Structure 1
Amino acid sequence: MRNLIRRSLLIISILLLISYVLKEKSVDASSLNNDDTYITEPTKPIKDATPVDYEIPQENLRPIEEATGSDIERILGKDDRILVENYTSYPYKTIVLLNMTFNNITYIGTGTVIAPDTILTAAHNVYDSRLGGWATEITAYAGARANKATIGKAKVDKKYVLPEWINSQSSQHDLAVIKLKTSLGDQTGTLGITNEMKLSEPIETAGYPADKGGWTLYKGNGLLKKFTNFNVYYDIDTYGGQSGSPVWNRDKKIIGVHAYGSSPLNFATKINDTNLKLIKKWTNIPVGHVYNKDVTVSKSNISVWNDFQFHIKKPLTHIKLGNVYKAKYIYKHNNGQTYLSLYDNKNKWIGYFNKRDVSDLKGTLLNKKVKINKNNYVIWDSFYFDNKKGLSKNFYGKTLNAKYSYVLGNNEEFYSLYDSKNKWVGYINKKATQ
């Protein structure tokens, strides 16, 4: 009987241990998923436009798709493309017209500025074995219109394509990065990049379709209908010449590079984690990982940056000691510093903060009975201090449970209050209690 009891206890112990280990593995897997999400932020231009004439007339240039035999019309039913009238406004000014020369013939395509000296585009705009291999010359025109590029132009210095594209030229790997000889992105701004996407999320694309002249920007809106490990699919009309166009989400972050037409859906090369790591390597852009923590500004006289070239500082007018923001992403820069990308409670991007200038906002378990002894304090719904949950005068003289304590970067301490029925009351400054 004793042996039976011992065996039973041993089996129970083993099962509990297995359960614990499995639980721990589940937690680890969750954290790994976060680590596999990468991001770069969009940036605004910092220099004025310098309009230039085209080097060659644009009206007779053909889209690259015609030359490669992949000229498939990509209008899905009714043509829903929209002329971009504000083509010199952000984010459309980041989308550039490409002139690519193969075998002494120049073709048109589309690209997107993702760093001051870097453009993201389709690989077949850069390398195609059917056209003899690498393009011998590529010029990028920003703010393209019939007579000139109204923002500026840049020549390409270096070209990179996914290694698999050279070997297979598969639609799964049709992505390229081209480095410029000058910083055209200072005049256009940049779009961000992410490998994070959701089915049915609203997306947009824009480019230079050949059937509209080839120098006029058209856009389309739709939904992300499907994605695989290598491609994203959507119900947006496109046409030849738009290969290399960005497909971006509401946050102005690119999730794919348009390259192909099909039925019933057009599709792009996906920004997956492997591709984004290569983009990082080729461009030297710091790539962020998901952080998703509330932080509080804990130092004065700080710098908040618009980009990782540190060209321009963001204004500090509304950034005060003790302010709380959502740190969505964390970046380890090659200068040895760590930066956080901060957003306000309305999901508006604030800028890049050095991590040493903020502190994670963490609650400390307190479970202390306190009495409200001031009647002129606000009880807040959050530490963004934009929504009042109540007033201290409504609880004057009452004893509540301060379950947690929070200290902001300005050393102001707040209690998270609960009533006798364990219902949350809100956040109140410690000074309103005794």
Structure 2
Amino acid sequence: MRKIKSSSIFLTIIILLLMTFSIPVKAADWDIISNPGSEQITTPPLSATSETTNVGIPAFEGTGMVQEGDTVLPIPDATIPAIPESIIGTDNRSIVSNTTLFPYRTSCLLVITFPDGISYGSGNLISSDTVLTAGHCVYDTRYGGWATRIEVYAGRDGSYSPFGKANSKSFYTLDRWINLTSKEYDYREYDIGYIKLDQKLGKTTGWLGLTTTLSNDISLTGFPAPRDRGYKMYSQKGKLKNSAANKIYYDLDTEGGQSGSSVYNTGNQVIGVHAYAHGTVNSGTRMNLQNFEIAKKIADTAILSYRSHVQNIGWQGWVNDTGISGTTGQSKRLEAINLSLSDSSYSGNIEYRAHVQNIGWQGWQKNGAMAGTTGQSNRLEALEIKLTGELAKIYNVRYRSHVQGIGWQAWKSNGQMTGTTGQSLRLEAIQIQLVKK
């Protein structure tokens, strides 16, 4: 009989014990929870970058175009009372006289329908279709849990809504905000939420940037107790007083209804989200590195714009999101093209090259540089477009071209050729889009 070593027996016993008394895996502190029926977001790996050196994401001003005559009916009074917050000494807030100016037009009045009634809140656009707000503006156990609908009015000014109304498509908050019964942490440190919209409102209004670097000079803009103050936007500049790992404290005056307002620096970058009052100081959830990474993931801010230089026309205006650049039915050649990515949250570039009459394939260009020629009457015959870096991991780039004698070709992607070579056929128009993987 073969002798079994005592060390082998000991190891076997340990394995059996581990199998019998398995320890449940604890959720990460920054797991993201979405409202039922919407897409779950997996928390991205945390960056090793120091919070004090992270410059963050810049603000984007948008086009600022205002919809003429877009008045709306008065919003019904809330059935859920606004929670009182703190006026610290003298009230130093002021009414914003022109809410269509940047960055004020990024500030949104939220009309929140919960299962148990209607409430108000504030938020700020941080991408073309994402509003940053407080966690209790999307999930509040006092009023039945998840909001069922949120109406979003950017730049609201009394009964006038210059940028119209957007509606919520889905909501997100942190697992630690949902789990209010835990004794392991203070759930109020995780009071942050996100609203995805049914339209890309931020292309018009612009949006605030994000940063983990704290600033002494800060501002807060929002809609205090809107039914009492006529849905007017108030704003104030102030000072950061203190900070902790997950919280910031400041001397900015607030009232019920301003929960969810971004606290932002002089560069219009968010450093936190207002949520609570403490009598002599108010506080918000800090845009620390973990929240920054989550916001970047949810906001997904990359916007692709492109334009083309057309025979007898010259440079056309910029288009995006599958807009047609060039012409069809006019027998005009494309001669050059620019592609540009604005305010992407991810590292990397969009790169592209053109096959040009009498030249052949040119070298790769990127982020706004011209591919093709102008003033030489040379037609574009083919294009290749690709993404690099983090962008290539998050998105596919799709494109198709309208070709002389052929019409629209099939969609190509990620470096494939659209158009023709060796056939002397001109490109006449192109469509391009980013598609999240």
Give TM class, smaller chain: 0.5 to 0.7
**Structure 2 CA distance, aligned partners of 1:42 and 1:129?**
33
Pair 1:86-2:102 in alignment: no
Q: Which residue of 1 aligns with 2:293?
A: 277
Q: Which residue of 1 aligns with 2:188?
A: 171
Q: Which residue of 1 aligns with 2:242?
A: 226
Unmatched segments (≥5 aa) in structure 2: 1-47, 181-185, 303-317, 324-342, 352-364, 370-437
SS of 2:189's partner is helix
Matches within 5 A, 1:195-344: 195-198=212-215, 201-210=216-225, 212-285=228-301, 332-333=346-347
**Structure 2 CA distance, aligned partners of 1:307 and 1:354?**
17
Q: Which residue of 1 aligns with 2:33?
A: none
**Structure 1 CA distance, aligned partners of 2:344 and 2:106?**
24
On the 8 A contact 1:59/1:213 being kept in 2, the answer is no
CA pair 59-136 structure 1, distance change in 2 beyond 3 A: closer
**Structure 1 CA distance, aligned partners of 2:125 and 2:217?**
21
Pair 1:190-2:201 in alignment: no
Spell out, residue by residue over 1:245-294, the C-alpha distance to the aligned partner (whole angstroms, 9 max, x if none): 111101111101111111211011100110111112222236xxxxxxxx
Match of 1:116 among 128, 139, 143: 128
SS of 1:158's partner is strand
Question: Post-superposition shift, 1:186?
Answer: 1.7
**Structure 1 CA distance, aligned partners of 2:55 and 2:367?**
18
Matches within 5 A, 1:373-392: none
**Structure 2 CA distance, aligned partners of 1:159 and 1:245?**
16
CA pair 32-133 structure 1, distance change in 2 beyond 3 A: closer
On the 8 A contact 1:204/1:221 being kept in 2, the answer is yes
Q: Which residue of 2 aligns with 1:181?
A: 198
**Structure 2 CA distance, aligned partners of 1:253 and 1:170?**
25
Unmatched segments (≥5 aa) in structure 1: 1-30, 287-305, 312-328, 338-352, 358-434
Spell out, residue by residue over 1:269-323, the C-alpha distance to the aligned partner (whole angstroms, 9 max, x if none): 100110111112222236xxxxxxxxxxxxxxxxxxx999899xxxxxxxxxxxx
Matches within 5 A, 1:17-28: none
On the 8 A contact 1:46/1:189 being kept in 2, the answer is yes
- TM-score (normalizing by structure 2): 0.56
Match of 2:72 among 48, 54, 79: 54
CA pair 356-175 structure 1, distance change in 2 beyond 3 A: same
Spell out, residue by residue over 1:363-421, the C-alpha distance to the aligned partner (whole angstroms, 9 max, x if none): xxxxxxxxxxxxxxxxxxxxxxxxxxxxxxxxxxxxxxxxxxxxxxxxxxxxxxxxxxx
Matches within 5 A, 1:411-422: none
On the 8 A contact 2:225/2:255 being kept in 1, the answer is yes
On the 8 A contact 1:36/1:273 being kept in 2, the answer is no
Spell out, residue by residue over 1:128-182, the C-alpha distance to the aligned partner (whole angstroms, 9 max, x if none): 1121111001010122123231222101101111121111282201111111011
CA pair 184-215 structure 1, distance change in 2 beyond 3 A: same
Sequence identity, in percent?
Answer: 35
SS of 1:150's partner is coil
Q: Which residue of 1 aligns with 2:165?
A: 153
**Structure 1 CA distance, aligned partners of 2:88 and 2:52?**
37
**Structure 2 CA distance, aligned partners of 1:307 and 1:175?**
34
Provide the aligned length of Structure 1 versus Structure 2: 273
